[in-house]
Structure 1
Amino acid sequence: MARLEIKSVSKTFGAARPADGLSLAVEPGEIVAVFGPSGSGKTVLLRMIAGMFEPDDGDILVGGRSVIGAPPERRGIGMAFQNFALFPHMTARDNIASGLRAKGGSDVAGRVAAISRLLKIEHVLGHAPRELSNGQKQRTALARALVGNPDVLLLDDPLRNVDAKLRYEMRLELPNLLRRGAAAVLYVTQDYREAMAIADRIAVLIDGRLAQVATPADIYAQPASVAVARLFGDPTINLAEVTPVAEHGALSAVIAGAKMRLGAGDGAAPGPCWLGVRPEDLAISSVSGEDAIPARILAITPMHEKAVLLLRLSDGTEWLAALPPDAPLGAADDAVFVRFAPEAAMLFDRATGLRIGPSHRLKAA
């Protein structure tokens, strides 16, 4: 199997620049999710790797060999699209086998049968696409991409059009299936949960640039910027404008009139910041005291595994808290006090949006 390497790749369409100096490497057997909002350049990146577009600048290497200028069929790449792209006049069996036959592969029937058993679609191989469910179409398209044992596998939001139950099941099954083939996998998705469930690393793409590449755990706990932090989490991260001060080696800031400890600093206090706290890191009580922000409950939304509280702080800022459903929640219009542990606070430069501090999240004081 081969390593995929993208080196300073750029692409422009008129005034739009969906790829702006992208550099990324994917090792054999590794799954990297390319995640970002609609229009961020995810599909353009896949199509440049596959050979549908050529980059304006930069290079793309598979196994150390540049594939720029090589036709798609000679790049050693398999691709599955979000719209399935099955040939309507062919059976599922023939759709899966089409790539192998075009390349003159051997034991086509045996390889199709093996991948079909793996994906649990052997019972529909004789069906035309119109006779398949969306889930069966998705697995047929995936089988076609996998059957040739490609060096690189590109998956363009392949679960977008399947029902919720199958999407959940495939999030559990796909990682093992993909690693079994040992290809370098790029998996495009707009669903952060899917990216976190499937990928070894996540490449966050925003406006044609990679904002952060890291493990799912690091992306969530240590976002590189406010923009990245906002893309992960449901409910989304809480933000407040603060100007931290340093006192006796620790940082603190005033939030809605309350002085909150932010943990140990690395020297002088930073300038104006965004302070970020995840909703699940908030605690709510009716008891005032140190490090407690006065607030009022505006609404409570039960969500089975958690309850989400919409809070209005005393300065009018609205925050969200995610609490266990069995926690004492209070009721709408109750006056409460909001707390968070100092190490839960994240600071971002207010001008650039970039995270402040080499430790990403602050250390406990």
Structure 2
Amino acid sequence: MPQIELRNLHKGFKTGEVLKGLSLSADEGEIVVVFGPSGTGKTVLLRLIAGVEDPDAGSISLMGRDVTDAAPETRGVGMAFQNFALFPHMSAYDNIASALTAHEKSAATIKAKVDRVGALLKIGHVMQHAPRELSNGQKQRTALARALVSDPRILLLDDPLRNVDAKLRYEMRLELPSLLKTAGSTVLYVTQDYKEAMALGDRIAVLLDGGFAQVATPAEVYLEPATLGVARLFGDPTVNVVPATPVLQEAEPVFEIGGRPLRLPAHYAHIAGRTCMIGIRPESLVVEETASPESFPVEVVAITPLNEKSVLLLRTTDGRELLAAEAGNEEATRRHGPAHARFDPNAVLVFDAASGRRIPPHLN
């Protein structure tokens, strides 16, 4: 039975409708990351589940119980906010314990639970510090500890790593999945960082235009994006997009880049004559000095070294700009100027130009 079940949720404000018939379910112990750009309604969704806001229509069920009209304190939900929301006059210990004191737990129970979650999050040494004495990383862990301490069956995390430094953000991406699995809660985790979504989620729910454009595993979202909009959100640099109307030659669809005909696999034969957008991930583009039957001429316009990889800005003979990503720092060996590029035809993504939806291959 799903621990969280949202059915046809609608929510609007004076500026317009934010959520438009949104539905989602999450199973016990599952981490579902709600991902999308700023302003798409991710925080609004969490506030609806927590009971802070009321939906205009639709229903919310938690642990098999309809809580659409239930008071927030009866929902059994833990929540951590992106701005920490710590009580400034309380120590870290008292901030964490406040979730238990509200339920009139005994002092011994409170101490045991606070000490346990403090050790788990490695903040035991700052328990008597006031929030103003804590680093952003310690504040973040304190807010998370407060959400975890009462062992909530359902945990809502509103972009909790947004206000911490890059080093801690990276460390917490590694630690959080096992930490959340240890807690055993069913988690909805909001973020607008695609790397965070890929690292933390059992599934990712991509929120766009008031609804979920795709709900799938991280691998599926990246390799089989439901729409061009989803494909553009995942990847750095973003996916290259080439408009095309392929024609069939010897049972294979052919399209052009820079006047050069390039073949796609036969399992894309059904796209012949259809106006498409061909998506090529930058890491799928290989830039070489010499031409090959599968390559097309380009000019290397700029090279940006990013330590673990280099990003190349390429320009085709018809003026189209493409991005390629190469492993390692190629600045010393890679030269600007004429070159040739090729890609793995089996790695392309094909989208319908009118709807933006991905056109899957016909595999036997």
Q: The TM-score by the shorter chain falls in which range?
A: over 0.9
Paired residue for 2:246?
A: 244
Asked if 2 retains the 8 angstrom alpha-carbon contact of 1:301 and 1:308, the reply is yes
1-side partners of 2:24 and 2:320: how far apart?
A: 39
1-side partners of 2:135 and 2:45: how far apart?
A: 29
2-side partners of 1:146 and 1:165: how far apart?
A: 23
1-side partners of 2:347 and 2:155: how far apart?
A: 37
Paired residue for 1:357?
A: 360
Q: Which moved more, 1:137-146 or 1:288-297?
A: 288-297
Structure 1 unmatched ranges of 5 or more: none
Q: SS at 1:95's partner residue?
A: helix
The 5 Å alignment of 1:189-228 reads 189-228=191-230
The 5 Å alignment of 1:134-153 reads 134-153=136-155
The C-alpha deviation readout for 1:105-148, integer Å capped at 9, x for no partner, is: 34111101110010011111111111111011000000000011
Paired residue for 1:92?
A: 92
What code does the residue aligned with 2:275 have? P
Instruction: Tell me the CA shift for residue 14 of structure 1.
Output: 2.1
Paired residue for 1:116?
A: 118
What code does the residue aligned with 1:150 have? P
2-side partners of 1:250 and 1:150: how far apart?
A: 55
Scaled by the length of structure 1, what TM-score is found? 0.95
1-side partners of 2:151 and 2:295: how far apart?
A: 57
The C-alpha deviation readout for 1:277-299, integer Å capped at 9, x for no partner, is: 00000111122232222110100
Asked if 2 retains the 8 angstrom alpha-carbon contact of 1:2 and 1:152, the reply is no
What code does the residue aligned with 2:285 have? L
Q: SS at 1:210's partner residue?
A: strand
Q: Which one of the candidate residues 264, 287, 299 is aligned to 1:284?
A: 287
The C-alpha deviation readout for 1:338-364, integer Å capped at 9, x for no partner, is: 1011101111011111111256xxx69
Paired residue for 2:348?
A: 345
1-side partners of 2:115 and 2:2: how far apart?
A: 25
Scaled by the length of structure 2, what TM-score is found? 0.95
Asked if 2 retains the 8 angstrom alpha-carbon contact of 1:252 and 1:263, the reply is no
1-side partners of 2:228 and 2:220: how far apart?
A: 14
2-side partners of 1:166 and 1:297: how far apart?
A: 36
1-side partners of 2:135 and 2:209: how far apart?
A: 35
2-side partners of 1:316 and 1:329: how far apart?
A: 25
Structure 2 unmatched ranges of 5 or more: none
Instruction: Tell me the CA shift for residue 270 of structure 1.
Output: 5.2
2-side partners of 1:133 and 1:71: how far apart?
A: 34
Q: Which moved more, 1:309-318 or 1:256-265?
A: 256-265
2-side partners of 1:272 and 1:223: how far apart?
A: 19
Paired residue for 2:327?
A: 324
Q: SS at 1:265's partner residue?
A: helix
Q: Which moved more, 1:256-265 or 1:137-146?
A: 256-265
The 5 Å alignment of 1:43-58 reads 43-58=43-58
Q: SS at 1:289's partner residue?
A: coil
2-side partners of 1:138 and 1:8: how far apart?
A: 33
Asked if 2 retains the 8 angstrom alpha-carbon contact of 1:249 and 1:265, the reply is no
Asked if 2 retains the 8 angstrom alpha-carbon contact of 1:285 and 1:336, the reply is yes
Instruction: Tell me the CA shift for residue 44 of structure 1.
Output: 0.5
1:275 aligns with 2:278: yes
1-side partners of 2:328 and 2:135: how far apart?
A: 36
What code does the residue aligned with 1:303 have? L
CA RMSD of aligned residues (A): 1.7
1-side partners of 2:116 and 2:31: how far apart?
A: 22
Paired residue for 2:61?
A: 61
Instruction: Tell me the CA shift for residue 326 of structure 1.
Output: 6.1
What code does the residue aligned with 2:87 have? F
The 5 Å alignment of 1:9-48 reads 9-48=9-48
The C-alpha deviation readout for 1:55-113, integer Å capped at 9, x for no partner, is: 11111111111111111111010000000000111111110011111112341111011
The C-alpha deviation readout for 1:153-203, integer Å capped at 9, x for no partner, is: 000000011111111111011001101121110000111001111111111
Asked if 2 retains the 8 angstrom alpha-carbon contact of 1:2 and 1:151, the reply is no
Paired residue for 2:300?
A: 297
Q: SS at 1:37's partner residue?
A: coil
Q: Which moved more, 1:259-268 or 1:97-106?
A: 259-268
Q: How many residues were matched structurally?
A: 360
